Amino acid sequence: MQTNPYLDIDPEVAQALAERRPVVALESTIISHGMPYPQNVQTALRVEAEIRAHGAVPATVAIVNGRLRAGLDRAGIELLGRDGRAVPKVSRRDIPFIVAAGQSGATTVAATMVIAALAGIRVFATGGIGGVHRGAAQSFDVSADLQELAQTQVAVVCAGAKSILDLRLTLEYLETHGVPVVGYRTHALPAFYTPESDFKVDYRLDDPARIAAAMFAKWSMGLKGGMVVANPVPAAFAMPRARIDAAIEQALREAGQQGVNGKQSTPFMLARVSELTGGDSLATNIELVLNNARLASAIAVQYQRLCGYDDAASATH
């Protein structure tokens, strides 16, 4: 595999990729913008440990001093967590400017997918994907995560779309762009803090091996784009739906009153919802990320078994 001149792959990750062992990518926006310090660093390290415990190698993705990084050491994670929102939030459009300026940045779902694909990583675990924002008919506020899913060969394991979004329009957008939404042991689309919503997924698959087989078939046929694997938050850690909906509605009103929009919307909403729920939503967020890491590891293990040493999916990329 040809290495991109702007990309640095952590030695542990590089060795795993060279030996065709399973690797799971992780985003860094969740560290800098998704949780307060020190819970963000503690959670990032717990997620990496969870992936290792389930047979895969973690690769936390970020931009460090103008270099695309697939895999960070503890010092790198600590820096992102401690500096928090002072670290630029980087989506696809921002990557060349952060790199050219020699700056550091925390990667969103979209940017993480870009860098993971460059490194040859096919499975990515996160909390929840972005989507179509409420009121998008007027604002046209649609997350770049959705367009990245339409064009980049990475499977994203998440707890569905964040419930601060318009879930119906998010599903419509994904369907239009040919992105399958797979429910892991569920027919309902998870809504991040809660295990289900009023909307259905495209396919229910109850076994990581079946999800890996669908990924392998898709990319071996040369079909572009990724896949959403929606993994419900465990019931023991889920938020009561009425409570979380009330907090989201209040946070949305406050965001509108304060003129919060664009890339600042999601960090504002997550922080405000956490405040309104007395920190309970943060606890749920942490548990669902750990749960997604476990499933992503199982899928990566199964996918690598299919690829073996004759990686047909990579050959078509």
Give catalytic residue positions.
27, 162
- Classify the C-alpha dihedral 31-32-34-36 as positive or negative: positive
Start-to-end Cα distance in the chain = 11
Residue with tokens 């030695």: 11
Is residue 264 a contact partner of residue 32, using CB atoms and an 8 Å limit?
A: no
Residue type, 28: S
Rounded to the nearest 10 degrees, what angle do helices 208-220 and 280-307 cross at?
60
